[in-house]
Amino acid sequence: SLKDFEIGKGQGKGQFGQVHMVRTKAAPNYILAIKCIKKKKLQALDGGKQFRREVEIQSHLLHPNILRLYGYFFEEEQVYLMLEYAGGGELFRKLRDARDGRFDEPTAAKYIAQVTEGLIYLHSKRIIHRDIKPENLLLSLNGDIKIADFGWSVHAPSDRRTTHCGTPIYLAPEIARGKHEVYSRAVDLWALGVLIYELVTGDPPYDSNAQPQSVANRPFSPCCFGARSPRSPPPSRFAPSQLLKHAPSERLPLLKVKQHVWIQRHVRTSRSDQSGKTSRGSSASAKTVEQ
C-alpha cells in the first residue's frame, strides 16, 4: 500500500494522474516512481481499457531501454503503478533546454540508437508502441533512454491494426488517413523518422498545426534537413528521408537504422571518447597510488 513508501517530489503529470518519486520505508530503501491515477478520472475519460492494456503490456517487458513496471496496487479512490525511477526526466525537456533547442549530432545519434534498440525489442514481442515522441522518452540518471507510456501500445500478433490513435505530428500516413486503414509496426518507423528530424533540427518536419490528413498526402522533402546542421551527411543517405516514406514497406527496417552510417559513426566516436576518459582516469588513479 501507499503507507509502505516515503513520498518525494512530483515528477510530472499525465492524462490520468501524477507521478512522484518514492522510497520504500523498508530496507534496502529502493527508489521508484509511483504513478497515481484517480479511478473517477479513468472512468470519466473512458480510459479503463487503455490502462489495462498499458499494465498488461509493460509488466511483461524487460529491456535496458524500456521503463520497467514493477507492479501495481489499488486503494479506495486511486490506482498506483510502481515504475522504474527515471531521474533524468523527459527527453522533451532536455531538448527544450538544449542550446538552440536541438541536440548536437553525437547526442542525437546516441538517443536514436537507444530508442531503436528498444523498438527492436518491442517489435520482437509483436508490440507496436504507436506513440513514440520526446514526451514519452525518459532518461535515467546516467542519461540512457527509457521508452515509457504504453497507453496506446498494442500487442499485435498478426501485425495488422486499424485503430486511429497517437499524437498528430507523429502519426504515420496510414493512421492519419483513418477510414479503418490497416497498418503495422511500420508506424513506429515513421515516428522514429520524425523524432530524428526533431532532435537534430529542433523542429518537427511538418507544421504542428497541420491537419494529420494533409501530412498523410504530403511527401517528405529532405532538402532543408541539415540546413541548421551543416556537418550532416547528404539527406539522401540520412535516416529521416529513409524512414519518412509514405509506403510502409519502403521504410528503413530497424536493424538497418541501427547499422546506419550516421549512428555508427557518432556512437562509435562517443564510445571511444568514454573509453579514453576511463583510461586516463585509471592512469591518474594509478599515479596517485604510486605517489
Bridge partners, 63 (sequence order): none
Range(s) for CATH 1.10.510.10 in the chain? Answer: 89-270
On whether 149 is known to bind a ligand per the annotation, the reply is yes
Q: What is the pLDDT of residue 235?
A: 39
Tell whether domain 89-270 is in CATH 3.20.20.70.
no
pTM, 2 dp = 0.83
On whether 176 is known to bind a ligand per the annotation, the reply is no
The tens digit of pLDDT for each residue in 175-220 reads 777 766 677 899 999 999 999 999 998 888 876 555 555 555 555 5
On whether 85 is known to bind a ligand per the annotation, the reply is yes
Report the C-alpha gap between 280 and 291 in whole angstroms: 17
On whether 197 is known to bind a ligand per the annotation, the reply is no
Q: What is the pLDDT of residue 262?
A: 87
For the domain 2-83, what is the CATH code? 3.30.200.20
On whether 86 is known to bind a ligand per the annotation, the reply is yes
The tens digit of pLDDT for each residue in 226-273 reads 444 444 444 334 668 899 998 999 999 999 999 998 898 888 755 555
Task: Give the lowest-confidence range in 3-12, 41-50, 68-77, 243-252.
Answer: 41-50
Catalytic residue among 46, 97, 131, 144: 131
Q: What is the pLDDT of residue 8?
A: 86
Q: What is the pLDDT of residue 284?
A: 38
Task: Encode burial over 211-242: b for 16+ CB neighbours within 10 A, e otherwise.
Answer: ebeebbeeebebeebbeebeebeebeebbbbb
pLDDT band at 112, cuts 50/70/90?
very high
Report the C-alpha gap between 288 and 155 in whole angstroms: 55
Q: What is the pLDDT of residue 18?
A: 86
Show the cell assigned to 280: 586516463
On whether 136 is known to bind a ligand per the annotation, the reply is yes
Higher-confidence position of 191 and 167: 191
Q: Which string of DSSP letters, residue by residue, matches 168-221?
A: GGG--HHHHT-TT--B-THHHHHHHHHHHHHHHHSS-SS-TTS-HHHHHTS---
Based on its alpha-carbon atoms, the radius of gyration of the chain, rounded to whole angstroms, reads 21
Q: What is the pLDDT of residue 223?
A: 43
Q: Which amino acid is at 4?
A: D
On whether 65 is known to bind a ligand per the annotation, the reply is no
Q: Give the CA diameter of the chain.
A: 74
Q: Which helix (H) or strand (E) holds 287?
A: helix 261-290
What length does the chain have?
291
Range(s) for CATH 3.30.200.20 in the chain? Answer: 2-83
Under a CB-based contact definition with an 8 Å cutoff, are residues 149 and 140 in contact? no
Q: Judging by DSSP bridges, how do beta strands 78-83 and 69-74 pair with one another? A: antiparallel
Report the C-alpha gap between 247 and 266 in whole angstroms: 29
| pLDDT of residue 152 exceeding 90 | no
Higher-confidence position of 173 and 221: 173
Q: Which amino acid is at 253?
A: P
Cα distance between the two ends of the chain: 54
131 is a catalytic site residue: yes
Q: What is the pLDDT of residue 231?
A: 46
The residue assigned the cell 518507423 is 189
